Amino acid sequence: MSSTPERVAVVTGGSRGIGRAVSTRLAATGFTVVVNHASGTAAAAATVEQIQEAGGRAVAVLADVADEHAVAAMFDRVEADHGGVDVVVHSAGRLALSTIADQDLDVLDALHRTNIRGTFVVAQQAARRLRAGGTFVGMSTSVVGTQFPTYGAYVASKSAVEGMTLILAKELRGRDVTANVVAPGPTATQLFLDGKTQDQIDTLSKVPPLERLGMPEDIAAVVAFLAGPDGHWVNGQTIRANGGMV
């Protein structure tokens, strides 16, 4: 009787926030999860420990997503240790808020290095390595549609994520590999909450018709659907997971 083949997911930015929720959710559905992080070794180790304590399989791997050599080495290691890659979720990202008039261009460059170059580097490796039946999921933001002031630099980067990922879906024709984007609305993560007053948080939580902030687990559930067999007919789409916010 043959054993079930190991299914392997790489989650960038997998140690915190939405990435951590995605890592734990995919592990719970049977994936071996590679928890990528660029810093925060303790957080990555805690994520791996949480998965293992729940009976799942996970390993933490350090790599700057914008460094093509580090990312290629990470995928080399995954293939050597686990035989291949079936799902890549690119959750790593930066957020910096400023009006366009006042935007510090050094901050802009750092944000775009992670959010645009990092997405391109990870998507490039995913395109080269994902096995048949596989999935790439990029991470955008619903602010691409709502266009809140002070999000100019961030939205510029996430618009790029949406554009390149939907092109990737077409370039993967014939491979039985999907590429989609999940675009969360306001979600209760450290990245979102930092620098906001309680009044700002309360106001934003009332914007969706469901009148609450999203939770990381809400977004992880959408990613898990796309990564599983039930979601494999969804391809080349941006899914705005935001409680109905427009």
Question: For the chain (length 246 residues), average pLDDT per consecutive 10?
Answer: 77 96 97 94 96 97 98 98 97 95 98 98 98 98 93 97 98 98 92 83 89 95 98 98 90
At 155 the pLDDT is: 97
Q: How far is CA 243 from the centre of its chain?
A: 19
Instruction: Give dist(CA 134, CA 48) in Å, integer.
Output: 23
pLDDT for 1 equals 41
Class at the top of the CATH hierarchy for domain 8-241:
alpha beta
Do residues 20 and 14 lie in contact, with contact meaning Cβ atoms separated by under 8 Å? Answer: yes
Strands 32-37, 57-62: pairing kind: parallel
Boundaries of every domain in the chain: 8-241
Token reading at 201: 């948080």
Which residue has tokens 């050094």? 106
pLDDT score recorded for residue 142: 95
Task: Quote the CA–CA distance of 98 and 153 in Å, as a whole number.
Answer: 8
Given the residues 121, 154, 180, 187, the one annotated as active site: 154
Q: What is the pLDDT of residue 40?
A: 76
* pTM of the shown model: 0.94
Residue 185's pLDDT is 92
Q: Is 154 a catalytic residue?
A: yes
Both tokens assigned to 115: 């959010």
